[in-house]
Amino acid sequence: MICNYCGQMISRNLTIKEIFLPEKIAAEQLCLSCAKGFQLLEKKGSCLGCQRQLSTTPYCNDCIMWQRRYPEYDFHHEALFVYNKTMQEWFEEYKFRGNYRLRYSFAVFLQAYFKKKKNVLVIPMPISTERMKVRGFNQVEGLLDAANIAYQPYLVRFIDGDSQVQKTRKDRMALKQPFKLTKEGQEAIIAREVLLVDDIYTTGRTLFHAAQVILENTPSKLYTFSLSR
Ligand SMILES: [Zn+2]
Ligand SMILES: [Zn+2]
């Protein structure tokens, strides 16, 4: 086996669990030293709304602000990994340098998480057509594809968003609604449990915009998830 991230040989036997994984997923895992750099988020001691670590209060300041702005919304975001330096570098390589092979890096973790979300309509966060032309792939769909998770691309992004990285926190909070639903999506969402999936959760601004569009079409429940936060 070769590590999906650093390319080092992994010399160990497959575990029983791995033997039952699809071949490609079992083969494209992280080596022990890469895996060590990524830190799983802990539920304990983290914000109930967004899993931000080290919060001493039940909800962090961002979540308190969101609750004020969207009082009807039952907000409970879930994420798997801490957005630390290792994760930041990984996203550089995957998303901005376009190393599409890295979509497999977390497939095992994503499969385990989505196993608990049966009968849920999975909707990935979209990227704009301009962004698609530059990158060549939607990074969220790539992660889901690698983990064999079925999804529906019902959301459309008509204002580009990646330039957000350079924006200040205040600028980001003031952004306009950049999403809409496809016609098919508007009907499909009604009375369904929906899981909205993103790659990174930062301020929640993007996620809330997408959530708002989905909630207007009355799903029975809306969950949100990101690989990292
Ligand atoms: Zn490695
Ligand atoms: Zn929070």
Ligand nearest to the CA of 102: 1
Ligand nearest to the CA of 64: 2
Q: Tens digit of pLDDT for each residue in 163-176?
A: 555 567 666 666 78
Q: How many residues comprise the chain?
A: 229
Q: Tens digit of pLDDT for each residue in 32-66?
A: 899 999 999 988 889 999 998 876 889 999 899 99
pLDDT(213) > 90: yes
Taking all residues of the chain, what is their mean pLDDT, rounded to a whole number? 90
CA of 149 to the centre of ligand 1 (A): 24
* Residue (of 27, 23, 35, 70) closest to 49 by Cα position: 70
Please report the pLDDT score of residue 43 as a whole number. Answer: 82
pLDDT range class, residue 227, cuts 50, 70, 90: very high
**200 alpha carbon, distance to own chain's centre:** 6
CA of 104 to the centre of ligand 1 (A): 12
CA of 86 to the centre of ligand 1 (A): 12
In the three-class reduction of DSSP (H, G, I as helix; E, B as strand; rest coil), residue 31 is classed as coil
Please report the pLDDT score of residue 143 as a whole number. Answer: 98
The residue-averaged pLDDT of 196-223 equals: 93
pLDDT(118) > 90: no
pLDDT range class, residue 136, cuts 50, 70, 90: very high
CA of 29 to the centre of ligand 1 (A): 8
41-49, long-range: CB < 8 A, 24+ apart: 41/79, 41/80, 41/81, 41/82, 41/229, 48/76, 49/75, 49/76, 49/77
Ligand nearest to the CA of 47: 2
The residue-averaged pLDDT of 4-12 equals: 89
Kindly list the domain boundaries of the chain, sorted by start residue.
Answer: 1-37, 39-228
d(CA 152, CA 123): 5
Please report the pLDDT score of residue 150 as a whole number. Answer: 97
Ligand nearest to the CA of 33: 1
The residue-averaged pLDDT of 112-121 equals: 93
d(CA 151, CA 141): 8
Ligand nearest to the CA of 31: 1
Please report the pLDDT score of residue 173 as a whole number. Answer: 64
Ion ligand 1 neighbours (CB, 5 A) are 3, 5-6, 8, 31, 34
pLDDT(106) > 80: yes
pLDDT range class, residue 130, cuts 50, 70, 90: very high
pLDDT(15) > 70: yes
Residues 180, 156: contact at Cβ < 8 Å?
yes
CA of 68 to the centre of ligand 1 (A): 43
Domain topology for 39-228: Rossmann fold (3.40.50)
